[in-house]
Structure 1
Amino acid sequence: MYPPVPGNTHLEAFALTYLQHGSSPTLVAEDNDSSDNYELHAAPAHLSDRARRFSRTSATHTITVSKDERPTREDEITPPIPTNNVPDPPRSRTTSTSQPDNKRLQNHGVIHFIVLCSCIFGAGWNDGSIGPLLPAFQRDYHLGYLIVSLYFVANCLGFILGGALNVSLNDRIGFGKIVVIGTVFQLASYTTQAVGPPFPVMVAANFFTGFGLSLQNAQCNGYVSSLTDNMETKLGIMHTTYGLGAFTSPFVATYFSGRRRWSFHYLVSASLAVLNTLALVLVFRFKHLDELLAESGQASPDSTNPSPPHARENTYRQLFRLKAVHILTIFAVIYIGIEVTVGGWIVTFIIRERGGGHSAGYISSGFFGGLMLGRIGLMWLNKLVGGHLVVIIYSIIAIILEITIWFVPSIIGNAVAVSLIGLVLGPMFPVMLSHSSKILPRWLLTVCIGWITGIGMVGSAALPFLTGLLSSRYGIASLQPLMVAMLVTMLVVWVFVPKAVRRVD
């Protein structure tokens, strides 16, 4: 040990130790019972910069400094002597690159969301086309109400198959491949229908349309429902694009329905399917959901809320154990059935019961236009009132408007009422999906949403088919009492949906 250094010469002692032993000295205060001295330990050169901080670890070389000469300022205790082979961390670089990285992640998220909205736009385009084309089906194929309603049944069966297979496909091949498969099936179906084949072929092609739409809708809804930032708003915007597609397609379908080659309408649908397929391939590149969420700066459901041990059970078994899933599925069946039935049969109702002409096809646009405006224009009310209560309010308003159409024989009055029904029906579906994300397990959310939307499409066939069955016997006037009964049933089912946030994470 070196002798005590007299006077205020601790810096010289620091330098002396550094020169003699090639290591940076570190001052360590140690109170000894026998003296009032402090020992200055030289930190070994092999230690990292973090390890050179004040420690009571003994060192081989020490310098004793008197207590009175102890440095009082922190910069005196640790002088700015460079350390050997320990570069300073590049702090400025880390800070400067964080903002560009965040911007890049946000851009990825925006692009992903735009492509998802494009897919949902295509789904709305398909559904909005049916109403104006039904009279053309009946005219050229010489069909009654019952047979023409098989077109809805085929679409429904495709949706059921897609909803059932989505559960297993989601685990096996992932998001990126499933959505592309969905648009490819739509493209094949539209191409077949564009040539105007016999009606059985049209029905079979519509089965594959339903299958493709089911896969696509389940994955798009599951993706947005998995987001942690502004999920409810994005769901509302995405389903607004559905309304936009359903609003614009009747204008095109009405134009073609009055022409001899009305089937050429499906060439427009096929073109949209081609664009969507290319966008899905280029943007998502067949990747899984967790990879895409990471690209957009979102945490995957498994990372934010890892599944508990019992989540390793069979996926279907877990799904069927959830009571809320069954209630929400029943609600979706009735809701989607009402939406498709009103949009599909209202044109025929106006023509047959209210004496409307060819331009009655535009009333379908009014319904889906209201649907679009309701989904984006009433988002503030949904947040203000709350999802569970606001659906009850919308249902009551829709029942009153439907009764108005039933008893008021006015084309203009009925057209306005149909548009207002679309306005209040529009927000219900995204509100239901948003509510589902709060009460269902996060690790099963994509599967649950796929099941609810896929099986929910049973209503898109059951109610239109039931309408055709009743119309073949009682006339198309039976549409309105059927819709009133279904709206009341939907309201009762929604009352049993859990209100509180009971997510199982």
Structure 2
Amino acid sequence: MSGKHLEGNTSTITLTDLSAPPAIVTEATEPSNDPVSTLIKLRLFSACLCFATAGVNDSSIGPLIPYIMPSYGVGTDIVALVFVPNLLGWLLAAGIGSHAHAIVSPNFPLFAFTFFLTGLGQALQDSQANTYVSSLPSSQTHRFLGLIHAMYGVGLLLGPPIATAVASNSRDWRFTYAVLIGLGIVNFGIVIGAFWGMVKIGKKSEEGNGGEGKKATKNLRSALGSKVVWIMSLFYFFYLGAVISLSGWIVEFLVQIRGGELAKMGYMPMAMNGGTVLGRLFLADVTHRFGERKMVAIYIVVCIIAQVIFWQVNSIAVAGVMLVVIGFFSGPLFAAVSV
């Protein structure tokens, strides 16, 4: 199924038939005991878990960077390369999405390559989850989108304490990935259970053999020729680049520049991630009511101001407050542009 999800953690746009008329949004009238309604709830839960899993994975790398560098004997210039394969995975997913760790001690290039696989998987999963939720025939769609993206924030919130606790209390920081593997297995099982009825394996399309593939390619070409798609893609590119870079380097910055204690600074990304969860839950209606374009512009300005304060004021306490502010006001941006 998918931040960086065009949170993920999502950022890949899954293409549907661009020639089809827009769906009419109506108020959901299904009774609560209707079996279809129950299935939709299960699928919403599955979408939430998809985003939460992506969030845990994305936010765990920041607290692990101070452990990864001495383990592999690399500096910040080399360890930063782990973010590149992740981006490439998302880029590949953008092209193929419409057509469709065991714990070891690998060398650094192989370790970095695993982030490509992670990015590819998350992009496909999160984009499909985002598309499913945004297409639900309900006037509450913006709230559902806010919910699943808030769950990405919950995952971001859980990632740092998990990574920090495991890395600082175990003999090997790589055991962090045992937790991620377990969460991924649970996520996979629920996705299969919730969406199995929508999966078609070995069935020919009504348009004939190869019809769906040709349709997907046509949709992709149409999307690439759309000005709106490029604007949205660039928005997500810079938004996610800023947010992920900030969350990924918070710990190293506070330890090396602000003189914070590593064991404690590993939990600092929780401030930003907690703000993200609150922003996506409580600003969804505000953003929808006053208009996405206007509110997104306001949120971005507030985030820039908070970032400058974070940079210029030499105080860990102030840094923590600014991280909450940045998380809170940047949180709604992803779902707002997805509506």
- Do the two structures share a fold, i.e. TM-score over 0.5? yes
Partner residue of 1:246? 156
1:321 matched to which residue of 2? 225
Q: Structure 1's 408 and 167: CA in aligned 2 closer, same or farther, altered over 3 A?
A: same
- Once residues 90 and 303 of structure 2 are traced to their aligned partners in structure 1, the CA distance between those partners, rounded to angstroms, is 26
1:200 maps to 109
Asked whether the equivalents of residues 350 and 360 of structure 1 are also in contact (C-alpha less than 8 Å), the reply is yes
Equivalent position amino acid for 2:52 in 1? F
Structure 2 residue matching 1:362: 3-state secondary structure: coil
Q: CA RMSD in A?
A: 1.9
- How far apart are 1:340 and its partner, in Å? 0.4
Following TM superposition, by how much is the alpha carbon of 1:100 offset from its aligned partner in structure 2, in angstroms?
A: 7.0
Q: Match for 1:219: what amino acid? A: Q
Q: Does 1:377 align with 2:287?
A: no
Unaligned stretches of 5+ residues in structure 1 = 1-97, 170-189, 290-310, 435-505
Q: Decide whether the 8 Å contact of 1:136 with 1:262 is kept in 2.
A: yes
1:150 aligns with 2:81: yes
Q: Kindly indicate whether the alpha-carbon contact (under 8 Å) linking 1:124 and 1:242 is maintained by their aligned counterparts in 2.
A: yes
Aligned amino acid, residue 250 of structure 2: I
Change (3 A) 1:312 1:349: closer
Report deviation, 1:380.
2.6
- 2: distance between equivalents of 1:220 and 1:99? 21
* Alignment-derived partner of residue 412 in structure 1: 317
Structure 1 pair 244–199 and aligned structure 2 pair: CA distance change class (3 A): same
Question: Which residue number corresponds to residue 365 of structure 1?
Answer: 270
Q: Deviations over 1:167-197 (max 9, x none)?
A: 222xxxxxxxxxxxxxxxxxxxx32xx2232
**Aligned amino acid, residue 194 of structure 2:** V
Q: Which has the higher contact order (CA 8 A, sep 6+)?
A: 2
1:117 corresponds to 2:22: no
Name the residue aligned to 2:239: 335
CA deviations 1:273-330 (Å, max 9, x no partner) are: 11111112222116259xxxxxxxxxxxxxxxxxxxxx99822221122111100100
1:77-96 mapped onto 2 (5 Å cutoff): none
Question: Amino acid of the residue matched to residue 125 of structure 2?
Answer: Q
Shift in Å, 1:162: 1.4
Q: Which amino acid aligns with 1:210?
A: G
What secondary structure does 2:314 align onto? coil
Contact kept, 8 Å, 2:275 with 2:331, in 1: the verdict is: yes
Residue identity opposite 1:244 in structure 2:
V
1:233 paired to 2:143: yes
CA distance in structure 2 between the partners assigned to 1:220 and 1:285 by the alignment: 14
Structure 1: distance between partners of 2:92 and 2:217:
23
Q: Give aligned pairs, total.
A: 294
Superposed, 1:61-460 pairs within 5 Å as 103-169=34-100, 190-191=101-102, 194-229=103-138, 230-258=140-168, 259-285=170-196, 287-288=198-199, 314-358=218-262, 359-434=264-339
Q: Which residue of 2 aligns with 1:461?
A: none
Query: Structure 1: which amino acid aligns with 2:284?
Result: M
Give the secondary structure class of the aligned counterpart of 1:260: coil
What is the distance in 1 between the residues matched to 2:91 and 2:285? 33
2:153 touches 2:276 (CA, 8 Å); kept in 1? yes
- C-alpha displacement of 1:433: 0.5
Change (3 A) 1:99 1:237: closer
**Rg larger in structure:** 1
3-state SS of 2:260 partner:
coil
The amino acid that maps onto 1:363 is M
Supply the distance in 1 between the matched residues of 2:61 and 2:222 (Cα, whole angstroms).
Answer: 36
Q: Which runs of 4+ in 1 moved over 4 A?
A: 98-102
Over 3 Å counting, the alpha-carbon distance change for 1:395 and 1:132 in structure 2 is same
How many angstroms apart in 2 are the aligned matches of 1:196 and 1:246?
25
In structure 1, what is the Cα distance between the partners aligned to 2:282 and 2:30?
A: 33
- Distance in 2, Cα, partners of 1:312 & 1:105: 28
User: What per-residue deviation string (whole Å, max 9, x for no partner) do you get for residues 10-51 of structure 1?
Assistant: xxxxxxxxxxxxxxxxxxxxxxxxxxxxxxxxxxxxxxxxxx
Deviation at 1:147, TM superposition (A): 0.8
Per-residue deviation, 1:101: 9.5
Identical-pair percentage = 33
3-state SS of 1:120 partner: helix
The answer to whether the 8 Å contact 2:299/2:330 transfers is yes
Q: Is the 8 A contact 1:252 1:265 kept in 2?
A: yes
Shift of 1:99: 7.8
Normalising to structure 2: TM-score of the pair? 0.83
SS at match of 1:168: coil
The alpha-carbon distance between structure 1 residues 253 and 333, as it changes in their structure 2 partners (threshold 3 A), is same
In 1, Cα distance between equivalents of 2:241 and 2:235: 10
Q: Is the 8 A contact 2:92 2:120 kept in 1?
A: yes
Residues 128 and 365 of structure 1 are in contact (CA less than 8 Å); yes or no, is this contact kept in structure 2?
no
CA offsets per residue over residues 195-221 of structure 1, 9 Å max, x none? 232212211111111111111011011
For structure 2, the 5+ residue unaligned runs are 1-28, 201-214
Secondary structure of the corresponding residue to residue 98 of structure 2: helix
Letter in 2 for 1:275: V
* Counterpart in the other structure of 2:4: none
